Chain A
Amino acid sequence: MILEAKSVSKRFGGLKAVNEVSLQVQEGEIFGLIGPNGAGKTTFLNCVAGDYRPDGGSIIFQGKNITGFRPDIICREGIARTYQIVRFFPKMTVLENVMVGVVFGSKKKVKFPERTAREYLDYVEFPVAHHVLAENLNTIQLKQLELARALSTDCRLLLLDEVAAGLTPAELNKITALIRKIRDDGRTIIIVEHLMRLIMNICDRIFVLNFGEKLSEGTPKEIMSCEMVTKAYLGETYMH
């Protein structure tokens, strides 16, 4: 078990965005987190990554309680993430963007950050020259860049928030393969996604959130056949 959340809660004013959520993620699995818009998926990721401090509960990562740690510390502990709305350094080159992760993101001291950064860019098959300013990239390129930066922190656990949103099926296939490759290279992944095709395809286990609370948990098959999930999330007429 790499990550354990014990009744994690986060409130915004009166709104319980995440309410007593407990879950466990096993080492080396792809863990899907789904739920309707506003269910609290992003908020939960934010709690894990340290962007929000949970109001209650605890988060254990590799046996260490990291609840309420600063995001940069959590990053160096080995949890990296991408954002639903891509975040990057617009006035830096592609290479420098990744170097930030290489230099500051891990506890290990990297001897040749530039070379390492290039390796990660190649790893995600980044299609654009490395000296281009990030502000000139398009959405999919930015998503790849963000992925490379997240990986470059040498993380054990990767949190992906809607990486596939807005991709065409062909692009989807590529990203699916990439996610698999990342997992096969020994990293654990939590993925938040609305695209059922992707989720059902690659997840080992799926966790469904609704109104900040756990609705269901299980293998993709179990989830698909779960009536509650169909009702709250997929919709009656959902068809693949």
Chain B
Amino acid sequence: MKRLVTSLGKVFGPLTKLGIRPQIAVLFFALLFVPLFVRDEFTLRLLITSLMFGGLAMAFDFTAGFINIVNFGFAAFMGLGAYSSGLSVLKLGLSPWLGLIFAALLVGIVGFGLGVLTIRLGGIFAACMAWFVALALMAVTANWVDLTKGNSGLSVPPLFVTIRNMPYYYTILAIVILVYILLAVISSSKIGLAFRAIGQDVVAAASSGVFATKYKIINFTISCCLAGLLGGFYAHFVGVLTPQVLHTRNTVEIMVISYVGGRGTIWGGLVAALLLVPAMDYLKGLLELRLIMYGAAMILIMIFYPRGLAGLWTSGADYLKRKGVLPDTSTVSVSKGKTGQNL
């Protein structure tokens, strides 16, 4: 066992350097081959949705878990991406693929603006500012009927001519891998160091030479850009958009996934999505009871395991390392080391 892990460690060594976790690389590898075994259209669709939420949760965590600002309007930026991709196809005649890119860029720009808006705000005020911007966006989407068709809904052309789920599956898988790698690389780079520094103590970060504003804006821009991209995918996958896509309800859903996954980990959100979305689907028959269970589960997790799945994984791995089953390879361990007590 130990030797296997060590040799795997060698293979993944360069990846780990970039902050890409071997277990996630394995997961992606497995996901690549899923359609070979699962030919069931519904399961594929469920996986598509799960991956989509996983991607969103990762992008959300990139802000919440690193610079410690909860973008409580996150769904609206995803929705904005959906609408801008859809409308760019309908009104500008772009191909849906270009639409996705257009959406990513546009929402990235809006994220830039949001970053500028929230510069001076901290904590709950920044979260509320993002939320208010989102609510305003949603109201605009509902009211600008000439452009968006408002609450009647906007029909959006699909990405593929075929109606099978497979192409969508590989598209979203590619997007999610891209998102993960991008976020993992950034967050393990110098920029990531700056993100975490300003997330934990802005003043100390500034006095160490970190220009908080710049990194806050970079973070918002990237996170929103990815939300826009995923939103664009949503648009062309589902085929119809209503302002409800921008609803706070969806932000809560993404937030729960990312928190259950574990804050500040990037990968936690993806794993949580792959578990939670199917689980919720499985329980659909319970109607309200399902949502009550969902609420209760949320409460129990927050009370008893606030570090989420990632925390569970880490403590599990720590336990194994202590038992000597796994080699202690990490240079930067998150475990609580024994501190020396004195000079």
Enumerate chain A interface residues (CB-CB to B < 8 A).
Answer: 49-51, 70-73, 75-76, 80-81, 83, 87-93, 95-96, 99-101, 103-106, 113, 125, 127-129, 131-133, 136-138, 140-141, 149-150, 153, 171, 174
Contact = CB atoms under 8 A, between A and B. Distances in A.
A77 B294 CA distance: 53
A104 B206 CA distance: 9
B331 A131 contact: yes
A50 B212 CA distance: 14
Contact of B209 (A128, A138, A153): A153
B339 A105 contact: no
B332 A174 contact: no
A76 B209 contact: yes
Contacts of B339: 128, 132, 136-138, 141
Contact of B193 (A51, A96, A138, A140): A96
B200 A138 contact: no
Which secondary structure dominates chain B's binding surface?
A: loop
Contacts of B206: 50-51, 70-72, 75
A146 to B, nearest CB: 8
A51 B208 contact: no
B207 A88 contact: no
**Which of B194, B200, B331, B341 is packed against the most chain A CB atoms within 10 Å?**
B200
B342 to A, nearest CB: 7
11 contacts: A49-B207, A50-B206, A72-B206, A83-B203, A83-B207, A96-B196, A100-B205, A104-B194, A104-B211, A131-B332, A137-B339
Given A92-B200, A96-B193, A127-B342, A72 B210 contact: yes
Contacts of A93: 332
Given A99-B193, A101-B208, A103-B190, A127 B332 contact: no
A160 B70 CA distance: 34
Interface string B27-40: 00000000000000
B194 A88 contact: no
A112 to B, nearest CB: 13
Chain B interface: which size bin? 20 to 34
Nearest to B214: A72
B204 A91 contact: no
A171 B211 CA distance: 34
A87 B336 contact: no
B334 A87 contact: no
B340 to A, nearest CB: 5
Interface of B: 190, 193-194, 196-197, 200-201, 203-212, 264, 330-334, 336-337, 339-343
Given A137-B339, A171-B343, A100 B333 contact: no
B338 to A, nearest CB: 8
B209 A104 contact: yes
Contacts of B194: 100, 103-104
Contacts of A81: 207
Select the residue from A71, A113, A127, A153 with max chain B CB neighbours within 10 A.
A71
Contacts of A153: 208-209
B193 A87 contact: no
Contacts of B337: 128-129, 131-133, 136
Q: When A and B form their complex, which 8 residue pairs have the shortest distance between CB atoms, in order from nearest?
A: A105-B209, A87-B204, A104-B209, A75-B209, A71-B206, A89-B200, A132-B337, A101-B208
A72 B331 CA distance: 29
Contacts of B193: 96, 99-100, 103-104
Contact of B340 (A70, A92, A127): A127
A105 B332 CA distance: 22
A100 B203 contact: no
B207 A128 contact: no
A76 B211 CA distance: 10
Contacts of A51: 203, 206-207
A232 B196 CA distance: 44
